[in-house]
Structure 1
Amino acid sequence: MAGPPRFFHISPEWCGQERLVQLFRLNGHPSSCHDGGRLAQDILFSQGAGRAPLSDWPRARLLTGLYRHAPHWQPPLEAWRSFAFLDRHFPQARFVLTTRDPDAWLFDRLTREGGAAARAHAHHRGVAESGLPDLWLADWQAHLAAVAAHFGDDPRLIRVDIDRESPQQLCEHLSQFLPMPRHPPGRAWLPARDPAQDRRLRAVLEGAAPARPSDAGDWLEDVARFCLRGLEPGEGGLPGVSRFYCAWDGAARFSGRDGSAQPIALADALAVARPGVHFKLGRAEGVVNDILRLGRRDPVRIDMEDSRWMGSAHGDPLGLPVLCHNRRAGARNVVLWPLPGQHDIGMPGFDPQAAPDAIPFDQKLDRVVWRGMISGSLMRDGVKPGPASHVYLTRLAAAGADQALRAEIWAELSQTSRLGFVRRFIDHPDFDLGVVMAWAFRDFARDPLLAPYCRPREGPDFFRRFRYQLCLGGYDHGSNFITAINSRSVLLAEEDGWEVFYSGRFKPWKHYIPVARYGADIQEKLAWARENPSECKAMSQAARAEAARFADPVLRRELLDRILDGLAAAG
């Protein structure tokens, strides 16, 4: 005998999903809501891949919150639109369509949760947040029409006007399908309005787009030329690409380095990775969505692994162009692209809405500051360093209580570049340094060998207290470069031989003070900075002006267009 049907909520956020979950759970019916966006991701990946959805939620009687709008740099997912796909796979299911006053819904969607939905949709669609209500309203009306066309008068569609019908009335209606003896005590479908929503709405309506620089065309040409430098397609294949390599054919196929399918699918003009894929393969999904956002479908090869030596004199030759987020100076056929999840508009250092550094240079502490993961490698005299620090950390964890083995491993770990620098200057009065262990290695912060060098994670206000910020190379380019240089401090940056998409615009002695490899001359460069405060202020001002352009969403889209144009022209 068949059990009670499943129920799918096919309305967007702020249409009563929390109350739906409450009334189902109140009556003992398992429910899944949102699940960090995994419900929507699973449905849309399955739709694109042609497989059955939701196998990880076999017991859920109600599935609601079928959307994702965080992180903002990933495209917002709206699997509540996929009712026809869900209907094919769950023909006995019921579909709950909740509706409300459109203006009230638009207000909530723009302003609830700090405007998270608005931020994601504006980023993806390339519009100001103030332009979203008209687009959202048109989308909603199209959805209602599509639902009506698909279901007609089919009784499996349950319509609920939450402005007129109470949760108790819906309980009574659902009782014909499954036991619903207990009714929620409150009659409201939505949380109480937050006063912060009005402030958020004013900010949306009063926001102004940045003025376009008069030399934008020249600037874009220069940055695109730098990203495309070394583009010389020929023979040689792809021997140096990583396991996260992904070739997209511009249509539905995503292939790995051996030609097998990568777990990414195209659904509703979005690239969607299978839930749970390695985050470095998820970066390829991000690159494809960058391209789709431009209205393009250029076939591309992508390798968003860190520390890409290929194409350089010290790595495997590369015969075909590959989009990467880093390369060695002088590399061939490694085309630079912003790193999804780090270089996107709205991320730290690239956020046009971020509060600027308000502390004048002269009022900052006269010390060098640095925090970061010990993601360097064993220091060597040659160009290529030795084993990476995470190799030693893994060995240290495996050593257990073997003190002799731990001492042997520590002797080499302490000679990796970042940890070695921190150990040299940890007690020096001119420096405020500290290791912040990445989440996967967080337990090492309590290890007696590493604990003396570990410090808590700090926000931008902490670093802006200091006159001199430091950028140290890790496995490749130091990830704090752009946040540090976009301040009224002056940046001292290690010249590590790595390039990312913005590197060509930041020049030593014009925008930052260059530091020798492994920070060998840091004290000499600090002494120079202290003797030349006017030059430091000029560098800082020039750096902030340059950084602002990389945080301009319009310029970013035009830049990506130009990079793709250059790839297409190279054949």
Structure 2
Amino acid sequence: MPQEPVFFHISPDQCGARRIARLFGLNGYDYVYDEQGKLAEDIAWSQATGQAPLRDWPTKRLFTGLYRLKPWWKPPLESWRSFAYLHQYFPNARFILTLREPDAWLLDRMVAESGTTTKAYAAHYGVSEAELPDLWTRDWQAHLDAVETYFGDDPALIRVDTETDTLEDLRRRLDPILPMPKSPRHSGWFFNKEPEIERTLLRMFDPAPETPPQRAEEFVEDVARFCLKGHCDPGTGNLAGLSPLYCEWDGGTQVLDRAGHACPVAITDLPGGRGEIALADPTLDFKQRRAEAVINDILGLGRRDAANIDMEDARWLGATPGAPLDKPVLCHNRREGAGNAILWPLPEMMGPGHRGYVTPCPDRTLFEDKQDKLVWRGMISGNEYSDGIRPGRSSLRYMREMAAAGNDAQAREIAWQGLCRTNRMAVVRRWFGHPHCDIRIGLAWSFRHFAKDPLLSPFCTRREGPGFFHDFRYQLCMTGFDHGSNFIPMINSRSVLLKEEDGWEAYFSGRFKPWKHYIPLQRYCGDLGEKLEWARRNPNDCKEMSHAAREEVALLSDPALMRAIKHRILDGLARKG
């Protein structure tokens, strides 16, 4: 247990958490100022499962930042509301409540992260961004009322009005409880000022016009129909291809794995009572928590539809001709023709805050002002060439074999030749240095050491941000594990996309058609030269495809339409039982 006395800051974001943390740190006390949501998740998970909270931070004196705002695709967690629960486990704790002038707090919260926090709140709550100030004001007042009712005149509560009380005033009040001999050099609260406040507010309160009802209905129905394609009820017992991530949610409180064992997922009320939330054990890795995100999608719709979930990558389940899955399974990717593999947006890639879903399109460079070149940066993922549907050995396996070979030149050469037979590496080597191409490897952080390998290093360069790609007329999308996550950011630009047709589908795939929204490439990009020359000779057609693609992304970026699509998918599953 943390040392006593321990302090909890029980105000929301934009209420001075960082300054309080620095005050404690200045005086030599350990603190946790956690904007990544770990504290909030630990408190919420412990409360839902009846465990003692914060056992991983035994030396800390201050806990502040008791909220989860990021990643934005996860529902916001406001564990600063759980003061009564914390007081139960820490009866000698002190609770710091910082107050701000309401309008100033609202403004800072609305424009934080250039408005992305607000957009995420609105998406998760199912309201417009313009409705949030009133909603937040009511929620904040409800919290203040709850705090006053619970603590009353109890000295465990330390109230701080940031309009009249300085950080030095707080230090003096804390000093008798916890010696604080050092005063902060600057005693103000210094709330953040977000750049481009006016532009951010204009976007929120003067949003893009709504999609016409008929077009919206056609769009929702089309996407949902595509996601449900292959839904059937064979009752064959075939569950081949399910991954260890597979689980079944009964629509209540039970989540079971394939063997029928309980998964570490709790369904509970959100702190403050605003609906329900699924919480997975915070110690699980990100893939093991994908089912939690899907259940939260369903709960966020105000529904409790039972669901079978397998959100692993590269799902071949149900793809064997004549052997669909025994029951519908929600997954974020599937092979063409797969039976009972029902597509669902992968929250971590398709939810609020994902970098590709930006409207209006962030690319301001006109097509004719871009370099007349094809660009690609990416990992050497993918597989060895294969004549059949299923690919050969993984490129990552060959890379690991190269590293394991050490000074064994023969073993390294064998692994290198295998890597050269994989789809992405072959394309990079074929087009590297071509006057009309800028194609290089940009290794993910965990693979950065491979850039020092003398065989790979000539092809490697640094990873680039989205703006880099806007300088090129043509972008390339190849098969690989980042294919699904890169497709939308690539196609949501004023460039034109050349896309390898690889037989994989995501929830949005049915909306993007070859030659209407992108230039199709054969499997393994064998016709890349021919298609690139066509694109260079036909700039007007390229601009038309790019414009049509951006219109589709704008529809996919509409939170109301996305909620409607998810409703429609669940309705379709319910109709067939």
Q: Output the TM-score relative to the length of structure 2.
A: 0.92
Give the aligned partner of residue 557 of structure 1. Answer: 563
Give the aligned partner of residue 299 of structure 1. Answer: 306
Give the aligned partner of residue 547 of structure 1. Answer: 553
8 A contact 1:377–1:416 mirrored in 2:
yes
Shift of 1:528: 3.0
Pairing of 1:229-240 with structure 2 (within 5 A):
229-233=229-233, 234-240=235-241
Give the aligned partner of residue 89 of structure 2. Answer: 89
Matches of 1:495 and 1:439, distance apart in 2:
28
Per mean C-alpha deviation after superposition, the further-off stretch among 375-384 and 114-123 is: 114-123
Q: Is 1:74 matched up with 2:74?
A: yes
Give the aligned partner of residue 151 of structure 2. Answer: 151
Q: Is 1:422 matched up with 2:428?
A: yes
Q: Output the TM-score relative to the length of structure 1.
A: 0.93
1:495 is aligned, of 479, 482, 501, to 501
Matches of 1:140 and 1:434, distance apart in 2:
50
Q: 1:259 to 1:190 in 2, by over 3 A?
A: farther
**SS across alignment from 1:281:** coil
Give the aligned partner of residue 347 of structure 1. Answer: 354
Q: Is 1:507 matched up with 2:513?
A: yes
Pairing of 1:134-149 with structure 2 (within 5 A):
134-149=134-149
CA RMSD, Structure 1 to Structure 2 (Å): 2.3
8 A contact 1:477–1:498 mirrored in 2:
no
Give the aligned partner of residue 517 of structure 1. Answer: 523
Deviations 1:61-80 (A, max 9, x none): 11111012122212111110
Q: Is 1:251 matched up with 2:252?
A: yes
Shift of 1:29: 1.9
Give the aligned partner of residue 110 of structure 1. Answer: 110
8 A contact 1:166–1:188 mirrored in 2:
yes
Q: 1:384 to 1:3 in 2, by over 3 A?
A: closer
Pairing of 1:118-517 with structure 2 (within 5 A):
118-191=118-191, 193=193, 196-197=196-197, 200-212=200-212, 214-233=214-233, 234-267=235-268, 268=270, 269-313=276-320, 317-360=324-367, 362-475=368-481, 477-517=483-523
Q: 1:236 to 1:219 in 2, by over 3 A?
A: same
Letter in 1 for 2:59: R
Q: 1:537 to 1:22 in 2, by over 3 A?
A: closer
**SS across alignment from 1:280:** coil
* Paired residues, number: 569
Pairing of 1:6-45 with structure 2 (within 5 A):
6-34=6-34, 36-45=36-45
Deviations 1:195-252 (A, max 9, x none): 6445544443344454436422122111111100111132325332112223222233
Q: 1:401 to 1:315 in 2, by over 3 A?
A: farther
Q: 1:543 to 1:271 in 2, by over 3 A?
A: same
Shift of 1:554: 1.4
Deviations 1:366-392 (A, max 9, x none): 322222111101111111011211222
**SS across alignment from 2:288:** helix
8 A contact 2:375–2:469 mirrored in 1:
yes
8 A contact 1:345–1:552 mirrored in 2:
no
Matches of 1:415 and 1:257, distance apart in 2:
36
8 A contact 1:309–1:315 mirrored in 2:
no
Q: 1:464 to 1:315 in 2, by over 3 A?
A: farther
Letter in 2 for 1:266: I
8 A contact 2:108–2:192 mirrored in 1:
no
Letter in 2 for 1:553: P
**SS across alignment from 1:36:** coil
Matches of 2:322 and 2:182, distance apart in 1:
67
Q: 1:393 to 1:52 in 2, by over 3 A?
A: farther
Please list every run of at least 4 consecutive aligned residues from structure 1 whose deviation after the TM superposition is greater than 6 angstroms: none
Per mean C-alpha deviation after superposition, the further-off stretch among 91-100 and 329-338 is: 91-100
Letter in 1 for 2:417: A
Matches of 1:104 and 1:197, distance apart in 2:
12
Per mean C-alpha deviation after superposition, the further-off stretch among 166-175 and 56-65 is: 166-175
Unmatched tracts of structure 1, length 5 or more: none
**SS across alignment from 1:226:** helix
Shift of 1:192: 6.4
8 A contact 1:368–1:431 mirrored in 2:
yes
**SS across alignment from 2:36:** helix
8 A contact 2:440–2:460 mirrored in 1:
yes
Matches of 1:83 and 1:69, distance apart in 2:
19
8 A contact 1:304–1:324 mirrored in 2:
yes
Deviations 1:427-486 (A, max 9, x none): 222322111112211111121111111122223333233222221111485543222222
Q: 1:223 to 1:104 in 2, by over 3 A?
A: same
Per mean C-alpha deviation after superposition, the further-off stretch among 334-343 and 504-513 is: 504-513
8 A contact 2:245–2:312 mirrored in 1:
yes
Matches of 1:152 and 1:116, distance apart in 2:
36
Deviations 1:26-66 (A, max 9, x none): 22221111152211111112222222211111111111110
Give the aligned partner of residue 273 of structure 2. Answer: none
Matches of 1:431 and 1:168, distance apart in 2:
60
Unmatched tracts of structure 2, length 5 or more: 271-275
Matches of 1:513 and 1:505, distance apart in 2:
14
Matches of 1:193 and 1:220, distance apart in 2:
39
**SS across alignment from 1:432:** strand
**SS across alignment from 1:86:** helix
Matches of 2:427 and 2:91, distance apart in 1:
63
Give the aligned partner of residue 48 of structure 2. Answer: 48
Matches of 1:523 and 1:300, distance apart in 2:
45
**SS across alignment from 2:349:** coil
Matches of 2:337 and 2:243, distance apart in 1:
20
**SS across alignment from 2:159:** strand
Deviations 1:136-155 (A, max 9, x none): 00000111111222223333
Deviations 1:292-350 (A, max 9, x none): 22111212121111110010117985211111110000001100011222222442332
1:569 is aligned, of 533, 553, 575, to 575
8 A contact 2:356–2:488 mirrored in 1:
yes
8 A contact 2:11–2:97 mirrored in 1:
yes
Matches of 1:425 and 1:217, distance apart in 2:
43
8 A contact 1:494–1:515 mirrored in 2:
yes
8 A contact 2:363–2:470 mirrored in 1:
no
8 A contact 1:41–1:77 mirrored in 2:
yes
8 A contact 1:471–1:478 mirrored in 2:
no
8 A contact 2:72–2:352 mirrored in 1:
no
8 A contact 1:511–1:542 mirrored in 2:
yes
Matches of 2:124 and 2:241, distance apart in 1:
32
Deviations 1:495-547 (A, max 9, x none): 10111111112122222222111011222222333344443333223222222
Matches of 1:264 and 1:178, distance apart in 2:
38
Per mean C-alpha deviation after superposition, the further-off stretch among 408-417 and 33-42 is: 33-42
Q: 1:164 to 1:338 in 2, by over 3 A?
A: same
Matches of 1:77 and 1:64, distance apart in 2:
14
8 A contact 2:116–2:353 mirrored in 1:
no
Letter in 2 for 1:343: M
Matches of 1:331 and 1:243, distance apart in 2:
19
**SS across alignment from 2:330:** strand
Q: 1:423 to 1:192 in 2, by over 3 A?
A: closer
